[in-house]
Structure 1
């Protein structure tokens, strides 16, 4: 059986031999009994092109020659094993950091890039599989057990996000030839057990995702948000009012709404005031849209411009000088949650504002196309489902 080839970047045994410099300046082996004045360390090295080559370094002592060679071999290994490659013996933790670095060159948005990084660091970097190699972790039973633990402790949404990150990471390993396939392709999505910590927490507060605010409830939430003593520092009340008055996605309010795109002096065809905002959303091809602003919200934004800032993102962080940098979405969800609970709306979420806008427009007789444009839906069927229209009218039966 043929002897297997040594891996790229591997080294052979290091040999160190003493020499002297003769009268012609050549390095030669000293005669018996003569003390060497210079030493040569030598080893074989398999380069990136697959060729084994001799590498040697010199030094005035035996140890210095060997150290010089080891340094040279280490540098050569970085060339033979570039950081642009993954290998099956990489730990999941190191592979994940490499994947995060590679995301800098991908076409995903900055927000998605940061979201992936945060999810990896939160659930995987120090998790139960972080010390496993890619080869060991790429196992259906291992990954399903890990995701089940995430689901039980952090909830089904966290498990789904973790699976997405693992899938991207292992797919990159497959593309780099480190793995033959990704086990994530065949995983079942775990659900938290009934007696798990996340299920117990969820059972304490049931969020009603099908319910909209009444007008009194919406007014109360905005009023409570305005009363918070830390609002000057956290700047949440105006954001809540903006969500309540437009129905945009939270991510759109934070990262896609710029002062330059708000026209508080716009007028309609009759010359009446008709302020608008151009939301440069990216989730669907209809997310980039111009929507009207109610007068009460327009007045509030005018006051905000005088009190806060007038350029960059409307809801940038008040603590940063760079007003082009979006705020962290999860932090804002937490702050909104606090204000909803204070208002006695523990059933509501940050998404309830969006559902409320859609529901009120529907109740006022707005056509689905208009509601879809307000929400940034690419398809009116999505809007219909969103509003719970599962049974059509009986007009067809009457006609037929």
Structure 2
């Protein structure tokens, strides 16, 4: 340290100030100038004078490169809540509500108090691994079950977006969420995607067709739609294919869900979710059965729906109001018990359809388009368990190919003696032909 208040670094003299504190630590201060001409005072405390000198040099070098300091006060809780407040105007109400609940229940108790700049990818990976296990709820003391893959992905998207915003505001430099993703249940050694076997699915459909309330579930078993997509279908969405007489399809362009006692109709999860789903004959019969039932129910006193109007739902309740998802889940339980099959969720019907199509050899691109997946990798990653039978079948094809190759090789070997006989029973020596 010199008398004029300058600290000497390895690269020469650098203006700055170093002060020894009563605690024995050293406080450093330095004014830096950024490429845009703005000036800022950088400071900090370190253990030794040498570290203070290095900090001054580093601060000036970063300023020359336009790198601004990170916030050492911003917490994960502040970062995420500010991000959600900024996105509230562009997010759908359902998305905002869902992210707030995920934050309150699964993020805040574990990460909110941490400094955002101090969270490492390793710490985030440990956090996601913890979500795959049963754990006590800090608020209620009850044991929470492992969090599902979908909810973990949403938390990862929320953290990634919050970090990106903080980096854009110059508060942080690195996004640890880019290097720490949730571990899927299948990769963590937990249960894979739950689905019915073809035999179980057949028994389920048989039971569902006997129950008016379960007809939407039978429709899911034939089409693979999400429950929210099926309940959002209206009579205007049902159309005939003009290029293929007798073929019907539904246009999936919205989804219906409920939260906090209110119903919400919005767009599908991705742009690929807007699609045309062709109906097999059995699914079309279910729709026609609903048309007949709704026509009768609409004549009853106290009916609160709009019957067969174009914008009325295809699968309403008996009184005409839109059917709720929780009603479909209760019906799912009753139908599974009647059919004598494992108790699964309505979404398992979608998994069952996708698994069946892939196991039957349908190409992944077509199945992904039918399900409304934006990427075929989503289909492959989710339903890879449906492919082992097809892989085993490839060994037979390769054996057949080997047999054909051996046959061709035998024909080639047999052709050599014939060629030798044509040449007089002996091969001709190399070299130019002599006259």
TM-score, normalization by structure 1: 0.54
Aligned pair in 2 of structure 1 residues 368, 287: CA closer, same or farther (>3 Å)? same
1 CA distance for matches of 2:130 and 2:366?
44
Contact 2:217 2:328 in 1 (8 A): no
Q: Are the structure 2 counterparts of residues 175 and 258 from structure 1 closer, same or farther at C-alpha, using a change threshold of 3 Å?
A: farther
SS at match of 1:243: helix
Q: Which residue of 2 aligns with 1:291?
A: 278
TM-score using structure 2 length: 0.50
User: 1:277 is matched with which residue?
Assistant: 250
Deviations 1:84-128 (A, max 9, x none): xx965344333322222222355x766555543432233123x12
CA apart distance, 1:217: 1.5
CA contact (8 A) 2:274 2:372 kept: yes
- Once the two structures are superposed, the pairs formed by residues 157-306 of structure 1 within 5 Å of their partners are 157=149, 158-187=151-180, 189=182, 208-209=194-195, 211-214=197-200, 216-222=202-208, 226=212, 237-254=214-231, 257-263=233-239, 266=240, 272=246, 274-280=247-253, 283=270, 285=272, 288-292=275-279, 294-303=283-292, 306=295
Answer yes or no: is 1:93 the counterpart of 2:77: yes
Question: Does the C-alpha gap of structure 1 residues 374 and 118 become closer, same or farther in structure 2, counting only changes over 3 Å?
Answer: same
The 2-side partners of 1:357 and 1:282 are apart by 19
Q: In structure 2, which of residues 128, 131, 137 is the aligned counterpart of residue 150 of structure 1?
A: 131
Structure 2 matches for 1:26-175, cutoff 5 A? 89-104=73-88, 112-125=95-108, 127-136=109-118, 138-153=119-134, 154-155=145-146, 157=149, 158-175=151-168
1:387 is displaced (CA, Å) by: 4.8
CA distance in 1 between partners of 2:131 and 2:30 (Å)? 42
Give the conservation status (yes or no) of the 8 Å contact 1:213–1:353: no
In structure 2, the CA distance between the partners of 1:270 and 1:333, relative to structure 1 (3 Å rule), is closer
How many Å separate the matches in 1 of 2:73 and 2:290? 55
Q: Is the 8 A contact 2:356 2:386 kept in 1?
A: no
Change (3 A) 1:378 1:119: closer
Aligned to 1:338: 333
Structure 1 residue 394 corresponds to structure 2 residue 367: no
CA distance in 2, matches of 1:186, 1:373: 30
For 1:274-301, what per-residue CA distance to the aligned partner results, in whole angstroms no more than 9, with x for missing partners? 4431123664648512412533212233
SS in 2 for 1:165: helix
Superimposed CA distance per residue, residues 313-352 of structure 1 (whole angstroms, 9 cap, x where no aligned partner): 737997xx997xx977xx5785466346534433644344
Residues 212 and 352 in structure 1, CA contact (< 8 A), matched pair in contact too: no
Instruction: Provide, for residues 18-74 of structure 1, a one-character-per-residue CA deviation record: whole Å limited to 9, x for no partner.
Output: xxxxxxxxxxxxxxxxxxxxxxxxxxxxxxx999xxxxxxxxxxxxxxxxxxxxxxx
Unaligned runs of at least 5 residues, structure 1? 7-48, 52-85, 193-197, 232-236
> C-alpha separation between the residues in 1 aligned to 2:113 and 2:376?
47
1:341-392 Cα shifts (integer Å, max 9, x gaps): 5344336443442344456668999888776654446788958967523344
Query: Within the alignment, does 1:350 sit opposite 2:349 as a pair?
Result: no
Counterparts in 2 of 1:249 and 1:386: CA distance versus 1, 3 Å: farther
Q: CA RMSD in A?
A: 5.1
CA distance in 1: counterparts of 2:314 and 2:114, whole angstroms:
41
The residue aligned with 1:16 is none
Instruction: Name the CA distance, whole Å, in 2 between partners of 1:142 and 1:96.
Output: 17
Where in structure 2 are there 5+ consecutive unaligned residues?
1-15, 18-27, 32-37, 41-69, 135-144, 254-267, 298-304, 406-435
Shift of 1:243: 0.8
